[in-house]
Structure 1
């Protein structure tokens, strides 16, 4: 499949905060009013799939639209946007760039260029399609988690330098806007909360499949048992399987009892019969977005206590098969290079389930 079959963002596109921020009734409410009315700030760091045209020349010729989309959480975008449209108690911000540009759910490297250069050199040394350890330099991955090539690693140092510069420049047109908007919204929520009390939750919204891809594009290779998501969603606060402290050096980002109530509310809102369809901190503990929010909230603990403000941050990792539905999932199990069409009715149902879950949480649980 040629590069023209990929979804690209036209060169020169610079996103604005208004384009990536979503809330209910924007024709009759300002953003400031929406923040006043809301108690949940939803961020979707991996929702973008379209690739900026500025880096298209560096893409691997093996990259297909299916692999492009599979390396994102694109299924979350429509759900989060629709949820924001119907629920005046949330504000949402959606990253328009793919994690390929740089992953905002990883700590931002002190030197982006140096880390990407190191990652490229490791991939080049390992060889095409070969497993490679990107520990410590995976904020920008030249390969997928199945080690499919995303980037065509240049064969010269000058070529790598040109690629690295292109990525660093392009990031500011979308990813950088997302990060600044997310952080500015967080401060708006906090300013209101410290004045009025109540509660604020930062929710980092994701999805993952329980299978990875073959070279032929079939998303059918089962993950290791330890990496399997539950049937609906994993909710994470960096705690143990009950949401309680796991490591004194890594405190929970949300109170354990509150996380358990949130899990019960999701079982209710998503109408699941098996309690195991919603699990806590399994298989993921939660990553950079809730780590950063948790640290910010702990720094404000005294002021928040005096203001009667409850603070928490949670990561929701939905099973992508659940978001897509059985028909779309079956299509992806077969070899291919295309992606599936979203079902608007399913997106709407999922958005309403999210709203029901968080309404139940506010009411004290299921």
Structure 2
């Protein structure tokens, strides 16, 4: 059995470690931001767990379960895409969602929410379904209710766990959030000043199967929760990207979202139109919600200069990102994760670039 993947204790990530763009040997970040019109964020790309959290981890946690609870496949793809495409800049969260999920609203009381989530998990019992609604920014269990954290038995241990999570989060996740938001503001300012386009892209993946206790990622999701064969593009709208709720407006213009979907169908050379879907099964979460709200704040300025501001979530089918061979390995019981194929990673990254090039030309 492979050991868990841990980040050495005390490591604080720098902006340079988590930011990617093309040709950094000859281009500065400032130049990259001037030439880019898409900011890619990968909030669930991190898989390695800060070593400080190791004492609190469940003994049932394996490397496969550790990685399966992340969107780790997105990390290599997003970095490769950024390396080959001067029109994008990417920021990659180095911490796993275990530390705290940046695609959920940041809790006003992180410690309080984590304590509540742990108490609910403790009350439900090990391996049992538990309702974490409203407090799932940090989950003690996976979405299959596999234990991630060893639920503390006393208040002192709970306090140590909570305080460690809050402290450690600032060394990676906190850096990601600050860098993401700062880059977004710089690119937004340029778009407003020049009357150009700026798109926030929140990049994710999900498998259409979940895990068994033996580690096989092979339990089919309910039909309503399954992704299309390639990607779901979401703007909080309906099946055509149009508004479905005045209180929850689309974060990307509906016609532009449909054009982006057509570009992905061409860029990924799909066999069926519904291999790329809109707002199904997910509407999009906190990153595009926050970006959409920010863009509405400056809507008058955008209208005055002609700036085009959009935010979209791309939820790729993980089986598609990993490829058939890797998926077959994960469908069998085990404790290890797969080894990514650099050639396949490059093919996906090239298709992403191709899709956005086609979208810009449409």
TM-score by length of 2: 0.99
* Corresponding position of 2:36: 38
- What are the superposed Cα offsets for residues 286-316 of structure 1, whole Å, 9 maximum, x if unpaired? 0000000000001000001111100000000
Shift of 1:186: 0.4
SS of the residue corresponding to residue 181 of structure 1 reads helix
Among 115, 118, 124, the alignment partner of 1:117 is 115
Among 219, 222, 243, the alignment partner of 1:221 is 219
Give the whole-Å Cα distance in 2 for the aligned partners of 1:11 and 1:197.
Answer: 45
Give the whole-Å Cα distance in 2 for the aligned partners of 1:55 and 1:282.
Answer: 35
SS of the residue corresponding to residue 217 of structure 1 reads coil
Give the whole-Å Cα distance in 2 for the aligned partners of 1:108 and 1:170.
Answer: 15
* 2:20 maps to 1:22: yes
* Corresponding position of 2:302: 304
* Corresponding position of 1:274: 272
* Corresponding position of 1:60: 58
- Which stretches of structure 1, 4 residues or longer, exceed 3 Å deviation after superposition? none
- What are the superposed Cα offsets for residues 252-288 of structure 1, whole Å, 9 maximum, x if unpaired? 0000000000000000000101001000000000000
Shift of 1:191: 1.3
TM-score by length of 1: 0.98
Give the whole-Å Cα distance in 2 for the aligned partners of 1:302 and 1:18.
Answer: 34
SS of the residue corresponding to residue 25 of structure 2 reads coil
Give the whole-Å Cα distance in 1 for the aligned partners of 2:304 and 2:318.
Answer: 41
Give the whole-Å Cα distance in 2 for the aligned partners of 1:53 and 1:273.
Answer: 44
SS of the residue corresponding to residue 130 of structure 2 reads coil
* Corresponding position of 1:182: 180
* Corresponding position of 1:128: 126
SS of the residue corresponding to residue 61 of structure 2 reads coil
Give the whole-Å Cα distance in 1 for the aligned partners of 2:84 and 2:325.
Answer: 26
Among 352, 355, 360, the alignment partner of 2:353 is 355
SS of the residue corresponding to residue 259 of structure 2 reads helix
* Corresponding position of 1:261: 259
Which runs of no fewer than 5 residues in structure 2 stay unpaired?
A: none
Give the whole-Å Cα distance in 2 for the aligned partners of 1:273 and 1:263.
Answer: 14
* Corresponding position of 2:229: 231
Give the whole-Å Cα distance in 2 for the aligned partners of 1:41 and 1:291.
Answer: 15
Among 330, 336, 339, the alignment partner of 1:338 is 336
SS of the residue corresponding to residue 312 of structure 1 reads strand
* Corresponding position of 1:195: 193
Give the whole-Å Cα distance in 1 for the aligned partners of 2:219 and 2:101.
Answer: 24
* Corresponding position of 1:69: 67
* Corresponding position of 1:164: 162
Shift of 1:80: 0.1
Shift of 1:137: 0.2
SS of the residue corresponding to residue 201 of structure 2 reads strand
Give the whole-Å Cα distance in 2 for the aligned partners of 1:306 and 1:98.
Answer: 40
* Corresponding position of 1:246: 244
Shift of 1:82: 0.1
Shift of 1:190: 1.1
Shift of 1:196: 1.0
Among 312, 315, 319, the alignment partner of 1:314 is 312
SS of the residue corresponding to residue 5 of structure 1 reads coil
**For the aligned residues, what is the CA RMSD?**
0.6
Which runs of no fewer than 5 residues in structure 1 stay unpaired?
A: none
Give the whole-Å Cα distance in 1 for the aligned partners of 2:84 and 2:161.
Answer: 41
Shift of 1:342: 0.1
Shift of 1:188: 0.5
SS of the residue corresponding to residue 338 of structure 2 reads coil
- What are the superposed Cα offsets for residues 214-237 of structure 1, whole Å, 9 maximum, x if unpaired? 000000000000000000000000
Give the whole-Å Cα distance in 1 for the aligned partners of 2:287 and 2:150.
Answer: 29
Shift of 1:157: 1.0
Shift of 1:193: 1.1
* Corresponding position of 1:81: 79
- What are the superposed Cα offsets for residues 141-172 of structure 1, whole Å, 9 maximum, x if unpaired? 00000000000011001111110000000000
